[in-house]
């Protein structure tokens, strides 16, 4: 591992039941990059994000964040995960959901965070009274609110129209400019075109040199 590595996977394999979801994945990623896990549904993209987040351990191999096992990281300012389902607190407002990690840590959220994602007009609305696309952008804001070292996002443009896709892309590139390693699982060509590191997955195999 070099000092430039923020995320490193060494010969990671993950088996679910009788199915090998990921096989012998090795890669290293530095800070301030947009890395895109590209591939069809079922190729292992979401599983790889969850392994990086430490949500579950690999069957074999190692996943390191800053040289430490990923399972040890549960702080939103270090590693933040956006799953495919937004998982907001429905009774909280859009702003309260977006700012929650900052509030829990006694920190002030970026004043333009909601504006970046077109959420200002919805700031005081309960999350349950918003569309799926609006909930997804609220969850993206929550993921980025603490400028994490690593932001892991699963299909962040899946429920957005073209105008809102543009806002999401700007939010992601802004996060990279602020020093975050952004890792996105997607098959959206608009995100793929922006990638600093393209990581194609096919049937659980990474098709690039590590």
Q: How far apart are CA 183 and CA 173, in angstroms?
A: 11
Query: Would residue 92 count as lying in a domain?
Result: yes
What pLDDT was estimated at residue 63?
96
- Within-domain flag for 2: no
Q: Three-state SS for 28?
A: strand
Mean pLDDT of the 88-98 span:
97
Q: What is the pTM of this model?
A: 0.93
Of the candidates 55, 56, 48, 57, the residue with the CA atom closest to the CA atom of residue 29: 48
**Residue 199 near residue 39, CB atoms below 8 Å:** no
- Beta strands per DSSP E along the chain: 7-16, 19-29, 34-38, 60-65, 68-69, 79-82, 150-154, 181-186, 197-202, 205-206
Distance from CA of residue 154 to its chain's centroid?
Answer: 6
CA distance 13 to 58: 6
Whether residue 81 is contained in a domain is answered as yes
Asked if the model's pLDDT at residue 210 lies above 50, the reply is: no
Inside any domain, residue 47: yes
CATH code: domain of residue 28: 3.40.50.300
Domain extent at residue 35? 7-206
Overall domain count for the chain: 1
Average pLDDT over residues 175-194: 97
Query: Within a domain: residue 156?
Result: yes
- β-pairing verdict for 60-65 and 34-38: unpaired
Average per-residue pLDDT in the chain? 93
| pLDDT tens digits, 8-34 | 999 999 999 999 999 999 999 999 999
Q: Is residue 1 part of a domain?
A: no
CA distance 44 to 153: 14
The number of CA neighbours under 13 Å toward the Cβ of 154 is 20
Structural domain includes residue 102:
yes
Question: What distance in Å separates the CA atoms of residue 155 and residue 85, rounded to the nearest whole number?
Answer: 10
Look at residue 37 and tell me if it is in a domain: yes
């Amino acid at each position: 591992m070099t000092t430039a590595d923020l995320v490193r996977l060494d010969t990671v394999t993950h088996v679910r039941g009788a199915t090998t979801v990921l096989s012998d994945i090795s890669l290293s990623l530095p800070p301030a990059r947009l890395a895109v896990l590209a591939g069809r549904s079922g190729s292992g993209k979401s599983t790889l994000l969850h392994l990086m987040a430490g949500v579950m351990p690999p069957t074999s191999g190692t996943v390191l964040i800053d040289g430490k096992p990923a399972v040890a990281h549960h702080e939103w300012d270090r590693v933040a995960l956006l799953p495919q389902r937004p998982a907001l607190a429905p009774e909280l407002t859009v702003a309260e959901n977006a700012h929650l990690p900052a509030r829990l840590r006694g920190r002030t959220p970026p004043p333009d965070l909601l504006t970046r994602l077109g959420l200002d007009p919805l700031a005081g609305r309960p999350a349950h009274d918003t569309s799926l696309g609006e909930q997804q952008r609220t969850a993206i804001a929550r993921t980025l609110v603490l400028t994490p070292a690593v932001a892991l996002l699963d299909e962040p443009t899946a429920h957005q129209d073209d105008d809102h896709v543009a806002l999401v892309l700007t939010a992601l590139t802004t996060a990279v400019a602020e020093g975050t390693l952004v890792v996105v699982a997607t098959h959206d060509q608009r995100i793929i075109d922006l990638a600093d590191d393209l990581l194609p997955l096919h049937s659980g195999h990474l098709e690039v040199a590590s």
